[in-house]
Amino acid sequence: MSASPANRILVIDDQPDVRDALRLLLKTAGYGMVGASSPEEALACLRGDVFAAILVDMNYTRDTTSGEEGLALIAQIVAQWPGLPVVAMTAWASVDLAVEAMRVGAADFIEKPWHNARVLAVLESRIALQRSQQEAQRLAANNALLLADSQPGFIAESNAMRRLVDELKRVAQSGAPVLLLGENGTGKSLIGQLVHQWSPRAAKPLVKVNLGGLAPTLFEAELFGHVRGAYTDARTERAGRFELADGGTLLLDEIGNVPLEQQPKLLRVIEDGEFERVGASRTQRADVRIVAATNADLSAEVAAGRFRQDLLYRINTFQVRVPALRERREDILPLARHYLAAASQRYGRPQPALSPSAEQALLDYAWPGNVRELSHVMERAALLGQGAQLSIDDLRLQAMGLASNQNQLLDSMTLEQAEGHLLRRALQEHPGNVQRCADQLGITRQSLYRRMEKHGLRFSGTEA
């Protein structure tokens, strides 16, 4: 069985005996070896394969001892494959040549005839250092991706959200794909993060990508990465999102917006875990758990021919609908207080309280923009509100929106919820006036008192 790329060494030397001797030495240490007899052959190997390190002879033309061929080859390798450890070796060792090899990019220098322990020690240390640097870069990239799209705060006091949490905690333990459905702004991205945190992959990377925001020309480079020179602006190599998420979770937001012509490429990597960087011929693998999210009706998209049915089958092993905010009314006020506290701290302002009228306005509003809209409203109120208590005016909700959403809001309520809502609205419109509240509701004063006690309500003003 051939060695993996993580343990494969490229040896470039024009003498077959040297290559054979190094092959035996490297084999005893657990390394595989590919031999090349010339710079041209070496470059061809590098374009078609991956290596952990390279041993480079400094001279190839007969009777040449200047080392210029080796220096030119090292410079070319370093330019095209930055970060790959290159170790120079020559029988015509000198301090000047060693210094020059290091100057053009060699990581170390070995003299011929070599000491076996020295060769192995140099390779081991240089490969370990390169892996450490790659891991640090990958973690930095992952952290940047997370920080760029972080959404703090998760509240699940309503029955709808508690059921969702219980279901997702069970689903998260598997490695199966999860499809999150729901309106814009319901917090699907945050739910996707929680699926990762609750899963056995929690210690591995979580990488997010908004597929709806990717230009078609950048789709492959963003997801699969690219090699240097793959296109005009590709000045360095870059790992794609699948490579960054290896071992962890990849959150594909707005998957319903993936162009039809790109869907086969996405299907392949989800099915087989295989992909190629743009501009490369070598196939790579990534072990990634997929969590996809969309506000689109993917079944309707399939029927319309805009979404592949086989791709839908691959991503919806577990399909979960995230409820709209109007369907989880018990969470509205706790979420509002959370976002108000966060915004107040962010802007260095004292945190105001919500007045009863403001709380009622928040409960009455249907929130077409869901949790995202609520967070924006509270941020604006924290920044522009005056005094220690926020009034309904400080929320700056659209009055027409409040009125037009009443029927939609009532339609989503149970009978008990609707009764409590109508009671609170009457008490707000006629503070302290028992008879007017009862008249508006079409009930007696005694019936009004019984219902208020049932819902834990009381008058805020002087009774009449």
Q: What is the pLDDT of residues 40-81, one digit of tens each?
A: 999 999 988 889 999 999 888 766 778 888 999 999 999 889
Which of the listed residues 273, 301, 323 is the one where a domain comes to its end?
323
Q: Is 157 among the domain residues?
A: yes
* Structural domain that includes position 174: 149-323
Q: Is 139 among the domain residues?
A: no
**Bridge partner residues of 274 (DSSP):** 285
The pLDDT of residue 381 is above 60: yes
Q: Is 463 among the domain residues?
A: no
**Bridge partner residues of 61 (DSSP):** none
- Phi, psi (degrees; rounded to nearest 5) at 90: -160, 150
- Phi, psi (degrees; rounded to nearest 5) at 175: -100, 10
* Together in a domain, 336 and 375: yes
Looking at every residue in the chain, the average pLDDT score rounds to: 84
- Span 83-116, pLDDT tens digits: 899 999 877 556 778 788 889 999 998 888 889 9
* Together in a domain, 310 and 335: no
* Together in a domain, 441 and 384: yes
Q: Is 464 among the domain residues?
A: no
Q: How many CA atoms lie within 13 A of 407 on its CB side?
A: 2
Question: Which range has the worst mean pLDDT, 149-158, 293-302, 323-332, 352-361?
Answer: 149-158
Q: Encoding tokens for residue 225? A: 């990465």
Q: How many CA atoms lie within 13 A of 217 on its CB side?
A: 4
Q: Is 38 among the domain residues?
A: yes
One-character DSSP codes across 248-296: SEEEEETGGGS-GGGHHHHHHHHHH-EE--BT----EE---EEEEEESS
Tell me which range, 139-143, 246-250, 403-407, 408-412, is most confidently predicted by mean pLDDT.
Answer: 246-250
* Together in a domain, 314 and 186: yes
* Together in a domain, 341 and 381: yes
Q: Is 374 among the domain residues?
A: yes
Which of the listed residues 132, 166, 195 is the one where a domain comes to its end?
132
* Together in a domain, 155 and 299: yes
List all residues 6 or more positions away from 89 whose beta carbon is below 8 Å from its beta carbon: 13, 55, 56, 57, 58, 109, 110, 111, 112, 114
Q: Encoding tokens for residue 193? A: 């993060």
* Together in a domain, 48 and 178: no
Distance, CA of 65 to CA of 91 (rounded, Å): 9
Which of the listed residues 79, 102, 132 is the one where a domain comes to its end?
132
Q: How many CA atoms lie within 13 A of 29 on its CB side?
A: 19
* Together in a domain, 334 and 292: no
- Of the candidates 419, 418, 429, 430, the one whose C-alpha atom is nearest the C-alpha of residue 453 is 419
The pLDDT of residue 327 is above 70: yes
Pairing of strands 284-285, 249-253: unpaired
Q: Encoding tokens for residue 216? A: 């078609």
Distance, CA of 393 to CA of 377 (rounded, Å): 12
- Span 395-405, pLDDT tens digits: 888 643 454 45
* Together in a domain, 121 and 175: no
Residue 423 pLDDT grade (very low, low, confident, very high; cuts 50, 70, 90): confident
Q: Is 308 among the domain residues?
A: yes
CATH number for the domain including 119? Answer: 3.40.50.2300
* Together in a domain, 262 and 244: yes
The terminus-to-terminus CA distance of the chain in angstroms comes to 92
List all residues 6 or more positions away from 396 whose beta carbon is below 8 Å from its beta carbon: 377, 380, 381, 384
What's the confidence (pLDDT) of residue 1?
42
Percentage of the residues of the chain whose pLDDT score is greater than 90? 44
Distance, CA of 259 to CA of 254 (rounded, Å): 11
Rg (Cα) of the chain, in Å, rounded?
32
CATH number for the domain including 391? Answer: 1.10.8.60
Asked if 53 and 87 touch (Cβ cutoff 8 Å), the reply is yes
**Residue with the larger pLDDT of the pair 326 and 150:** 326
What's the confidence (pLDDT) of residue 385?
83
Sign of CA dihedral 313, 315, 320, 323: negative
- State how far Cα 383 lies from the chain centre: 30
